[in-house]
Chains A and B, each alone.
Chain A
Amino acid sequence: MRWISRITAAAAVLVLGASCGQGRQGADSGAEGGERELTVLAAASLTDPFEEVAARFSEQNPGVRVRFDFQGSSTLAEQIIQGRPADVFASANEKNMTKVVDADAATGKAEPFVTNRLTIAVPPGNPAGIRSLADLAAPGKAVVTCADPVPCGAATNEVEQASGVRLNPVSEENDVTSVLQKVQAGEADAGLVYVTDVRSAQGRVEGIDFPESRQALNIYPITTLQDAAQPELAAEFVRFVQGPEGREVLERAGFGAP
């Protein structure tokens, strides 16, 4: 019978140990030997520019390390609402930010900091000879877009409504990266992605601008979070992103002013 108590005790220690480990993670980001850690959750499309912005931010604030998680904004918003601890959230659209604000997970109000718009991505050399948005609706063209529920899909919808062009995609992907990947692999004749995605693909796809995209601008808001372990540092980072240095990096990546 002693066996049982020993084993249950061991199990309890295991479980407690695991939860303590988690608790400590939060405490680690506190001021310990001058090292401060900032956790930033950001839309996947912000990956490259945000890493550069963070590098500059750390240069100016020695001892600060910025930890990122880049994913779809809706995934991140849901995680924040479910209690994921983080300092800053940057969303690729206002809808997901609104969810976080409505759940009282954000501090202050979320501010728009950049805009992004759609463009047509085609494989290098444009084998299908795409020239305009209307070309995508031509029969026999394999077009890939984002699914309605994700931000780039919502933007695609707006573009369709504004232009009157009805697209007939062969696949509706859950994120813009998958669209880009299928175009890059030559499995799609064209895909609708963001201007910034074509820039970051560095020649592996070509971008074809279309005027209708200006009617469906995607607005990116940023905010500090209620559960921030480093509230002042978080606010500083948000200001830095909106400041001249952040602006310059983001504009170079293809983002527009808010």
Chain B
Amino acid sequence: MPLPLWPFAALGLALVVLPVLGLFLRVEPTRLPALLLSDTALSALWLSVKTSLLSTVLSVLLGAPLAMVLARGSVPGVRVLRALVLLPLVLPPVVGGLAMLYLLGRTGPLGGPLDDLFGVTVPYTTAAVVLAQTFVAMPFLVVGLEGALRSAGGAYEKVAATLGAGPWSAFRRVTVPLLLPALGSSLVLTFARALGEFGATITFAGSLQGVTRTLPLAVYTEAQSDVDAAVAMSLLLVALALLVIVLARPKAVEGQL
């Protein structure tokens, strides 16, 4: 590695690490256990883990086929389609939350009929949290899988087809195994993004302990009065994110399994 790059790399690392270190320094060790085991923290933690898992599953179910369409499907206007799918990556999450609220809210074009016909209200529910998280996190899965599909090319599937495999059988036995490494790394990113989701959730799902107040929302609410509690919960979030990225799948983030 060329020497001139080192100072920049060090500064870059400092920019990421020092604020998190500051968080650790701010906390009072004596109060930490009580703060971490408080009802507010535990219920938020449990809700966050649960909803993030659900939205990761939902992202795979919906995002993987989407990646296939973008990479392999011969659809007209695929570039526009890709831009649309990736929109949540660049949009402020609050915008996504507002958009969902106006679609699925009681007065929205979809939410209105749902409410009138079936008595189903989506906002203020845990389902709304999962939808908001999926909205912001799914693009990570789509990008990861689409990239892998493109670099793998379609050659193996073509060979499978000449050997007599139908599209479904080729998908199951050739494409899916090819995708597994990329799926691993994309899953980690998707889950981590869902875990950190804030803006879309608070706008669309609201904030109520045990129902919609995930860990990031709890941090924000606590920061209004008890900064120590907010810091403790932030640490919990940092620890959880690191656990997912470092321990759960050390190779996945490097793009290999």
Cβ A8 vs Cβ B7 within 8 A: yes
Cβ A149 vs Cβ B4 within 8 A: no
Cβ B106 vs Cβ A187 within 8 A: yes
Grouping DSSP codes into helix (H, G, I), strand (E, B) and loop, the B interface class, with mixed when no group exceeds half, is: loop
Q: How far is the CB of B241 from chain A (nearest CB, A)?
A: 22
Write out, one digit per residue, whether chain B residues 209-226 have a CB within 8 A of any chain A CB (1) or not (0): 100110000001111111
In-complex Cβ contact of B224 among A4, A8, A144, A174 (8 A): A174
In-complex Cβ contact of B221 among A8, A174, A185 (8 A): A174
Q: Does A35 contact B (CB under 8 A)?
A: no
Cβ B101 vs Cβ A187 within 8 A: yes
Q: Does B121 contact A (CB under 8 A)?
A: yes
Q: Which residues of B contact A147 (CB under 8 A)?
A: 207, 221, 224
- If A8-B7, A186-B107, A187-B101 touch, does A149 touch B206 (CB 8 Å cutoff)? no
Q: Does B63 contact A (CB under 8 A)?
A: no
Q: Does B144 contact A (CB under 8 A)?
A: no
Residue of B nearest to A189 (CB): B106
Cβ A4 vs Cβ B4 within 8 A: yes
Q: Does A72 contact B (CB under 8 A)?
A: yes
CA distance A174 to B205 in the complex (A): 13
CA distance A4 to B2 in the complex (A): 10
Ranked 3 nearest A-B pairs via Cβ: A171-B206, A149-B225, A170-B124
Enumerate chain A interface residues (CB-CB to B < 8 A): 1, 3-4, 7-8, 11, 72, 74-75, 78, 95, 142, 144, 147-150, 169-174, 178, 182, 185-187
23 A–B contacts from the bound complex (CB under 8 Å) = A3-B4, A4-B6, A7-B7, A11-B7, A11-B11, A74-B224, A74-B225, A78-B223, A78-B227, A142-B121, A142-B124, A147-B224, A171-B212, A172-B206, A172-B209, A172-B213, A173-B202, A174-B202, A174-B207, A174-B221, A185-B102, A187-B101, A187-B106
